[in-house]
């Protein structure tokens, strides 16, 4: 049986290789009719993964997706028999809402400038959709990676960033002072909105037909409960699913009695957790194998973190376009060439300082990397001195 599956997998890979070389999809579909007819979403996802492992870059697979899905389109089925509270059911319903939202945007944009108010209203709704992509990237994707499906989520994240870039261009265009009265800007706006609609339709098709069915086959019932919990923590936008509670079995830990002895004192687990969560910074620790090991939970986080990232390779926590920077920092920390890497950015109206430090033991051996993120907006505004308590 395994030999037959291996043979089938090789034939599927050969189909995509031939598409990569530019052969006609319809011709290939006719030649491989029987193989294509029975292909499953999981097989397509795994074949994509193996091709990347063999040296085809993820961005090439992303470009090929459009073509090879033409070949596999008729055989791929969409999972629809799910309870409404299920994470996949929520994501798929959001897909339908987002498509309708952009279709409405295109319709009302035809009546600019008189429909300017409605355009602004729809754009406001679109901005709220970011939680959809954050839930996938920070909760669903890590669980797929734990089951060995790494490359398809990478490709979907690349497309998320393309969608974000398109939406950003649309928002910036609509915010221009002369947008309400400029026919030229109205034409550009409609063009971008149409491009966004096509991009969303293509992206959602891949998720509905390949990524989601693969997730439903591999992820366990217990894990779906944890995924739903992670979704709830991030929050929703246009679809608000009914509450659904899953049984959990936390390990018995006595936070008051369990004591950690340190060279300069000792702390109970409760005290240590309180200290780490009271720090006015977000911290994340990555071990020597580049695996996310811990993050604190301050009252107000700057960047999103979910329990699903624990055990995840840090390279998978970043979009592909920035992974080379992550790798360079870690390599230079491990070699001793660098002792800090820092960045500062404008983020959601705040000035954010991000620093990375190598963590070393008493002998100077590298044991991991600490990311420290701080909102320094208020600090930058300080002047003079303050010696007394208000």
Q: Please give the model's pTM, rounded to 2 decimal places.
A: 0.78
In 211-225, which positions are buried (b, 16+ CB within 10 angstroms) versus exposed (e)? bbbbbbebbeeeebb
Burial class of residue 186 (count of CB atoms within 10 Å of its CB; 0-12, 13-18, 19+): buried
Mean pLDDT, the chain, whole residue set: 86
How many residues appear in the chain? 390
Question: Selecting from 3.40.1030.10, 3.40.50.80, 3.40.50.620, 1.20.120.520, what CATH number does the domain 87-234 have?
Answer: 1.20.120.520
Element (H, E) at 373: strand 366-375
For residue 174, is the peptide bond before it cis, meaning its omega torsion is within 30 degrees of 0? Answer: no
| Distance between CA atoms of residues 189 and 200, nearest Å | 16
In 363-376, which positions are buried (b, 16+ CB within 10 angstroms) versus exposed (e)? eeebebbebbbbbe
* Helical residues (DSSP H) of 130-239, grouped into ranges: 130-135, 141-146, 151-174, 183-206, 212-218, 221-234
| Distance between CA atoms of residues 106 and 118, nearest Å | 11
> What's the CATH architecture for 280-381?
2-Layer Sandwich (3.30)
* pLDDT > 90 fraction of the chain, expressed in percent and rounded: 62
139: Cα separation from own chain's centroid: 8
The pLDDT value recorded for residue 41 is 66
Predicted confidence (pLDDT) per residue in 19-49, tens digit: 767 777 677 666 666 665 656 666 777 777 7
| Distance between CA atoms of residues 207 and 201, nearest Å | 10
Which own/partner contact pairs does 111-114 have at CB distance under 8 Å and 24+ positions apart?
112/180, 112/186, 112/189, 113/180, 113/181, 113/186
Domain ranges of the chain: 2-72, 87-234, 280-381
Query: How far is residue 44 from each of residues 74, 81, 206, measured CA to CA in Å?
Result: 13, 21, 11
Predicted confidence (pLDDT) per residue in 229-267, tens digit: 999 999 998 888 888 665 555 555 677 778 899 999 999
Region at 266 (left for phi over 0; alpha for psi -120 to 50; beta for the rest): beta
């Amino acid at each position: 049986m395994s030999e037959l599956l291996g043979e089938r997998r090789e034939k599927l890979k050969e189909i995509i290789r031939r598409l990569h070389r530019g052969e006609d999809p319809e011709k290939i579909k006719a030649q491989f009719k029987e193989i294509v007819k029975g292909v499953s979403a999981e097989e397509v996802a795994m074949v994509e993964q193996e091709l990347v492992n063999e040296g085809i870059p993820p961005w090439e697979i992303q470009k090929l997706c459009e073509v090879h899905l033409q070949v596999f389109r008729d055989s791929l089925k969409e999972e629809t028999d799910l309870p409404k509270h299920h994470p996949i059911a929520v994501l798929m319903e959001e897909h339908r809402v987002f498509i309708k939202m952009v279709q409405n945007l295109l319709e009302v944009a035809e009546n600019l400038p008189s429909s300017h108010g409605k355009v602004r209203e729809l754009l406001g709704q679109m901005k709220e959709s970011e939680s959809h992509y954050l839930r996938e990237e920070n909760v669903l994707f890590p669980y797929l990676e734990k089951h060995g499906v790494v490359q398809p989520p990478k490709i979907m994240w690349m497309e998320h960033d393309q969608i974000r870039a398109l939406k950003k261009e649309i928002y910036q265009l609509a915010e221009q002072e002369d947008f309400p009265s400029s026919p030229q800007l109205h034409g550009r706006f409609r063009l971008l909105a149409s491009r966004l609609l096509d991009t969303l339709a293509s992206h959602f098709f891949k998720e509905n037909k390949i990524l989601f069915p693969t997730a439903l086959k591999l992820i366990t019932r217990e894990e779906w409960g944890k995924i739903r919990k992670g979704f709830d923590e991030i929050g929703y936008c246009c679809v608000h699913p009914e509450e659904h509670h899953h049984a959990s079995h936390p390990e018995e830990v006595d936070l008051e009695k369990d004591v950690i002895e340190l060279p300069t004192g000792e702390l109970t687990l409760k005290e240590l957790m309180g200290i780490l969560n009271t720090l006015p910074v977000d911290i994340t620790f990555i071990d020597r194998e580049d695996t996310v090991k811990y993050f604190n939970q301050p009252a107000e986080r700057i960047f999103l973190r979910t329990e699903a990232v624990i055990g995840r390779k840090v390279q998978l926590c970043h979009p592909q376009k920035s992974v080379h920077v992550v790798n360079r920092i870690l390599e230079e920390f491990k070699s001793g060439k660098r002792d800090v890497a820092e960045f500062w950015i404008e983020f959601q109206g705040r000035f954010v300082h991000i620093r990375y430090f190598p963590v070393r033991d008493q002998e100077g051996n590298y044991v991991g990397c600490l990311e420290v993120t701080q909102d320094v907006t208020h600090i930058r505004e300080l002047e003079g001195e303050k010696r007394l308590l208000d």
